[in-house]
């Protein structure tokens, strides 16, 4: 509307100017024609200006509309941001609550764990007390024996004597503290080992176990066929003696094997026959390493080493001891090397039994033992295995690539 007023004012001023009487000095001024031209020009200018003004006004309107739109958008975004912030705050609170709950649960679990640990400790303690009680009760069943039969002359050792179905077990108090479990497992060991030889022992035998008391019966462990006694110096065996990794239980099985060989199938030297040392020690080793299933007994884990040698291991052992095999002319079993001091020959005998068990079968080995009661070693070998003794030795060497 403003521009219309402006135009009217302009026209009005123009007309007013024209209507005014001209001063004398201007009497000779522009002509009417010239004035009309001016009017026309001015009217055009007014029109142009009016047009420009209108365009600018339109532009201004557009900008204003855009600004309004942008402002609205900004408002919307701001509203959204506020909403999002609220949402985030809410989630944060929820998270914090959950975290608190989780911490509480952790604390609860920890306290339950502690209770379980305490209960377990109590249980262990009770078990220990029970074992101690059982041991004390067992000890009460023992008769006290003072003997110097296996001791240095003139010294008496206090033995606790226990009777089982197949044995009499003598233990000193320190030995009993370590090995009282043998009271429950010896009869079972005797029965299992008797099965290996397909025999029954005809009489009871004695087992003596001591620690560092002054007993001179043996330096380690031994079966004495003269007195039917197994003698074991417990302190020499693992886990008591950690430098000597021969475990007590494996040793016990080995010595019981000798008792069964003697009292069951009579292949111990006492019958005056030489040359079966490889069978007695070889089967002793085979029984302790391969035959006995230690897991079925209630032995303490650290008193056993379960290490079942295979062909490769035997091969390595024999080759490590080749100084023994090479030193002598090993043409027959009786010429096999002996190492009475270190017993390193035992693994050689064990390898022969392993070879026979795998190549001929257990039955043939039992046949040999049976024939050997009346026949010589060469005759027993050829009758049981169908080869000469020399051939058997050659085949054994070939089996282990000696």
The residues that touch Zn ion, with contacts defined as CB under 5 A, are 281, 284
Cα–Cα distance between 41 and 44 in angstroms, integer?
A: 5
Nearer to Zn ion among residue 262 and residue 281 (C-beta): 281
DSSP 154-210: T--EEEEEEE-SSEEEEE-HHHHHHHTTHHHHHHHHHHHHHHHTT---SS-EEEEEE
CA distances from 40 to 18, 45, 52, 53 (A): 14, 9, 18, 20
Instruction: Report the distance separating Cα 279 and Cα 257, nearest Å.
Output: 11
Residue 314 CB, shortest distance to Zn ion, in Å, is 18
Residue 341's SS3 state is coil
Residue with nearest beta carbon to Zn ion: 284
CA distances from 171 to 152, 234, 258 (A): 17, 10, 20
CB 293, min distance to Zn ion, A: 20
Closer CB to Zn ion, 180 or 351, in the complex? 351
Q: What is the rounded distance in angstroms from the CA atom of residue 174 to the CA atom of residue 235?
A: 10
Closer to Zn ion at the Cβ: 157 or 369? 369
Q: Which residue has 């190492």 as its token pair?
A: 339
Residue 178 CB, nearest approach to Zn ion (Å): 21
CA 236/CA 244 separation, integer angstroms? 7
Q: Kindly state the DSSP code that residue 203 receives in the 8-state scheme.
A: S
- Taking the complex as a whole, the smallest distance from the CB of residue 233 to Zn ion amounts, in Å, to 14
Task: Give the C-alpha distances (Å, rounded to integers) separating 394 from 141, 253, 376.
Answer: 54, 30, 19
CA 12 vs. chain centroid, Å, equals: 112
Name which of 184, 222, 207 is nearest 299 in CA terms: 184
Task: Please state the closest distance from residue 142 (CB atom) to Zn ion, in A.
Answer: 28
**Phi, psi angle pair for 232, to nearest 5°:** -135, 125
Q: Output the smallest distance, CB 199 to Zn ion, in A.
A: 18
Look up residue 17 and give its two tokens: 């100017």
Q: How far is the CB of 281 from Zn ion (least distance, A)?
A: 5
- Which residue, 46 or 259, has its beta carbon nearer to Zn ion? 259
| Helix axes 362-371 and 377-385, enclosed angle (nearest 10) | 150
By CB atoms closer than 10 A (0-12, 13-18, 19+), residue 286 is buried
Closer to Zn ion by CB, 160 or 278: give it.
Answer: 278
Q: Which is nearer to Zn ion, 192 or 281 (CB)?
A: 281
Helix or strand holding residue 142 (H, E) = none
* C-beta of 247 vs 284, nearer to Zn ion: 284
CB of 258 to Zn ion, least distance (A): 6
Tell which residue, 362, 366, 340, 352, has the closest CA to residue 398. Answer: 352
Tell me whether residue 159 or residue 278 sits nearer to Zn ion (CB atom): 278
Separation between Cα atoms, residue 227 and residue 230, nearest integer Å: 9
Q: How far is the CB of 288 from Zn ion (least distance, A)?
A: 9
Smallest distance from the beta carbon of 206 to Zn ion, in angstroms? 17
- Closer to Zn ion by Cβ: residue 157 or 252: 252
Q: Which is nearer to Zn ion, 240 or 259 (CB)?
A: 259
């Amino acid at each position: 509307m403003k521009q219309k007023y402006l135009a009217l004012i302009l026209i009005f001023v123009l007309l007013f100017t024209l209507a005014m009487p001209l001063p004398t000095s201007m009497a000779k001024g522009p002509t009417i024609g010239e004035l009309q031209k001016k009017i026309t020009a001015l009217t055009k200018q007014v029109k142009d200006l009016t047009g420009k003004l209108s365009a600018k006004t339109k532009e201004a309107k557009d900008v204003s509309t855009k600004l309004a739109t942008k402002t609205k958008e900004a408002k919307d975004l701001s509203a959204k941001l506020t909403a999002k912030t609220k949402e985030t705050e809410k989630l944060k609170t929820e998270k914090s609550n959950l975290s608190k709950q989780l911490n509480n649960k952790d604390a609860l679990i920890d306290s339950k764990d502690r209770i379980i640990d305490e209960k377990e400790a109590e249980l262990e303690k009770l078990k220990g007390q029970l074992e101690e009680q059982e041991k004390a009760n067992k000890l009460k069943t023992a008769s006290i024996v003072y003997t110097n039969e296996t001791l240095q002359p003139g010294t008496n050792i206090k033995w606790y004597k226990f009777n089982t179905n197949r044995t009499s077990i003598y233990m000193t108090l320190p030995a009993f503290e370590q090995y009282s479990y043998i009271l429950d497992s010896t009869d079972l060991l005797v029965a299992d080992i008797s099965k290996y030889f397909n025999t029954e022992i005809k009489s009871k035998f004695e087992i003596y176990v001591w620690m560092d008391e002054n007993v001179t019966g043996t330096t380690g462990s031994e079966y004495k066929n003269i007195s039917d006694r197994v003698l074991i110096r417990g302190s020499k065996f693992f886990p008591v003696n950690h430098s000597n990794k021969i475990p007590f239980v494996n040793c016990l099985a080995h010595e019981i094997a000798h008792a069964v060989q003697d009292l069951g199938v009579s292949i111990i030297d006492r019958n005056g026959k030489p040359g079966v040392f490889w069978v007695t020690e070889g089967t002793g080793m085979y029984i302790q390493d391969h035959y006995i299933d230690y897991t079925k007994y209630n032995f303490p884990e650290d008193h056993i080493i379960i290490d079942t040698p295979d062909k490769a291991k035997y091969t390595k052992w024999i080759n490590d001891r080749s100084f023994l095999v090479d030193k002598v002319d090993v043409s027959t079993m009786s010429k096999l090397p002996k190492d009475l001091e270190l017993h390193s020959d035992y693994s050689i005998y064990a390898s022969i039994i392993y070879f026979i068990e795998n190549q001929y079968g257990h039955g043939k080995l039992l046949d040999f033992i049976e024939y050997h009661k009346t026949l010589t070693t060469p005759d027993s070998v050829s009758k049981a295995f169908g080869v000469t003794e020399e051939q058997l030795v050659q085949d054994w060497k070939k089996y282990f690539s000696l």
